[in-house]
Amino acid sequence: QQQQQQQQQQQQMARQSPQQPVRQPPAQAGIQGHGAKLPCPTNGWQYVDPKWQIQGPFTLLEMQSWNDMGYFRQDLLMRCDPSDRFVPFAELFPHPLIPFQSYPKRPTGNSPGRSYDARLQGLR
Protein backbone atom coordinates (compact mmCIF):
# COMPACT_ATOMS: atom_id res chain seq x y z
CA GLN A 1 0.00 0.00 0.00
CA GLN A 2 2.88 2.32 0.74
CA GLN A 3 4.28 1.69 -2.77
CA GLN A 4 0.87 2.45 -4.24
CA GLN A 5 0.74 5.78 -2.37
CA GLN A 6 4.24 6.70 -3.59
CA GLN A 7 3.26 5.92 -7.17
CA GLN A 8 0.13 8.05 -6.86
CA GLN A 9 2.17 10.93 -5.41
CA GLN A 10 4.70 10.69 -8.25
CA GLN A 11 1.93 10.67 -10.85
CA GLN A 12 0.27 13.64 -9.19
CA MET A 13 3.58 15.56 -9.08
CA ALA A 14 4.21 14.76 -12.74
CA ARG A 15 0.83 16.26 -13.64
CA GLN A 16 1.54 19.42 -11.59
CA SER A 17 5.07 20.03 -12.89
CA PRO A 18 5.36 23.07 -15.11
CA GLN A 19 5.46 22.51 -18.83
CA GLN A 20 8.47 23.41 -20.89
CA PRO A 21 8.45 27.12 -21.68
CA VAL A 22 7.43 28.03 -25.20
CA ARG A 23 10.55 28.98 -27.09
CA GLN A 24 10.48 32.12 -29.16
CA PRO A 25 12.39 32.18 -32.43
CA PRO A 26 15.76 33.89 -31.96
CA ALA A 27 15.87 37.56 -32.87
CA GLN A 28 17.86 38.34 -35.96
CA ALA A 29 20.93 40.28 -34.93
CA GLY A 30 21.43 43.67 -36.49
CA ILE A 31 17.94 43.93 -38.01
CA GLN A 32 15.58 46.48 -36.51
CA GLY A 33 11.92 45.92 -37.23
CA HIS A 34 9.68 48.75 -38.35
CA GLY A 35 8.40 50.52 -35.26
CA ALA A 36 10.86 48.79 -32.93
CA LYS A 37 10.68 50.36 -29.48
CA LEU A 38 14.32 51.14 -28.83
CA PRO A 39 15.29 53.16 -25.78
CA CYS A 40 16.66 56.64 -26.28
CA PRO A 41 20.49 56.65 -25.88
CA THR A 42 21.36 57.40 -22.24
CA ASN A 43 24.62 59.24 -22.83
CA GLY A 44 26.85 60.65 -25.56
CA TRP A 45 24.57 63.60 -26.44
CA GLN A 46 26.31 66.61 -27.97
CA TYR A 47 25.19 69.89 -29.50
CA VAL A 48 26.81 72.81 -31.30
CA ASP A 49 26.53 76.14 -29.50
CA PRO A 50 26.06 79.53 -31.24
CA LYS A 51 29.87 80.01 -31.36
CA TRP A 52 30.20 76.70 -33.28
CA GLN A 53 31.73 74.94 -30.27
CA ILE A 54 30.77 71.31 -29.63
CA GLN A 55 29.31 70.91 -26.16
CA GLY A 56 29.05 67.60 -24.36
CA PRO A 57 28.81 64.70 -24.10
CA PHE A 58 25.76 64.95 -21.86
CA THR A 59 23.43 62.38 -20.34
CA LEU A 60 19.88 61.75 -21.46
CA LEU A 61 18.59 63.11 -18.12
CA GLU A 62 20.42 66.40 -18.68
CA MET A 63 19.05 66.69 -22.21
CA GLN A 64 15.49 65.89 -21.03
CA SER A 65 15.74 68.53 -18.32
CA TRP A 66 17.06 71.23 -20.68
CA ASN A 67 14.44 70.36 -23.28
CA ASP A 68 11.69 70.64 -20.64
CA MET A 69 13.03 74.15 -19.87
CA GLY A 70 12.76 75.08 -23.56
CA TYR A 71 16.50 75.48 -24.21
CA PHE A 72 16.62 73.64 -27.55
CA ARG A 73 15.64 75.54 -30.70
CA GLN A 74 14.39 73.44 -33.65
CA ASP A 75 17.52 74.35 -35.67
CA LEU A 76 20.04 73.52 -32.90
CA LEU A 77 22.55 70.99 -34.24
CA MET A 78 22.93 67.88 -32.10
CA ARG A 79 23.73 64.19 -32.16
CA CYS A 80 23.42 61.26 -29.80
CA ASP A 81 26.54 59.37 -30.87
CA PRO A 82 30.02 60.61 -31.81
CA SER A 83 29.90 58.53 -35.01
CA ASP A 84 26.81 60.45 -36.22
CA ARG A 85 26.97 63.82 -37.91
CA PHE A 86 25.21 66.80 -36.36
CA VAL A 87 21.65 67.43 -37.56
CA PRO A 88 19.02 69.98 -36.52
CA PHE A 89 17.03 69.06 -33.42
CA ALA A 90 13.81 69.01 -35.52
CA GLU A 91 15.31 66.33 -37.82
CA LEU A 92 16.46 64.20 -34.90
CA PHE A 93 12.96 64.18 -33.41
CA PRO A 94 10.44 64.83 -36.20
CA HIS A 95 6.72 64.73 -35.37
CA PRO A 96 5.33 62.47 -33.83
CA LEU A 97 8.55 61.50 -32.01
CA ILE A 98 8.81 62.77 -28.44
CA PRO A 99 12.21 64.41 -27.84
CA PHE A 100 14.45 62.40 -25.54
CA GLN A 101 11.77 59.76 -24.96
CA SER A 102 11.40 58.29 -28.47
CA TYR A 103 14.41 56.78 -30.21
CA PRO A 104 15.88 59.59 -32.35
CA LYS A 105 15.86 59.50 -36.15
CA ARG A 106 19.61 59.22 -36.55
CA PRO A 107 21.10 60.56 -39.77
CA THR A 108 21.99 58.31 -42.66
CA GLY A 109 24.43 58.99 -45.49
CA ASN A 110 21.79 60.54 -47.74
CA SER A 111 19.85 62.71 -45.32
CA PRO A 112 20.15 66.53 -45.33
CA GLY A 113 22.68 68.16 -43.05
CA ARG A 114 25.99 67.46 -44.77
CA SER A 115 26.73 71.18 -45.14
CA TYR A 116 26.86 71.48 -41.35
CA ASP A 117 29.62 68.90 -41.17
CA ALA A 118 31.88 70.97 -43.43
CA ARG A 119 31.78 73.81 -40.89
CA LEU A 120 32.38 71.40 -38.02
CA GLN A 121 35.21 69.45 -39.64
CA GLY A 122 37.87 71.20 -37.58
CA LEU A 123 35.94 70.77 -34.33
CA ARG A 124 35.89 66.96 -34.11
Which tens digits make up the pLDDT trace of 39-92? Answer: 888 999 999 999 999 999 999 999 999 999 999 999 999 999 999 999 999 999
Angle value at C-alpha 109, between 94 and 77, nearest 5 degrees: 45
**What pLDDT, in 10s, does the model give residues 31-41?**
333 345 678 88
**pTM listed for this prediction:** 0.60
> Is the model's pLDDT at 117 over the cut of 70?
no
CB 117 within 8 Å of CB 88: no
Q: What are phi and psi of 26, to 5 degrees?
A: -65, 145
CB 86 within 8 Å of CB 118: no
> Is the model's pLDDT at 22 over the cut of 50?
no
End-to-end alpha carbon distance in the chain: 83
pLDDT higher for 81 or 11? 81
Q: How many residues does the chain have?
A: 124
Angle value at C-alpha 29, between 24 and 32, nearest 5 degrees: 90
Distance in angstroms (rounded) separating the CA atoms of residues 49 and 123: 12
User: Of 40, 17, 38, whose CA–CA distance to 100 is shortest?
Assistant: 40
pLDDT > 70: percent of the chain: 57
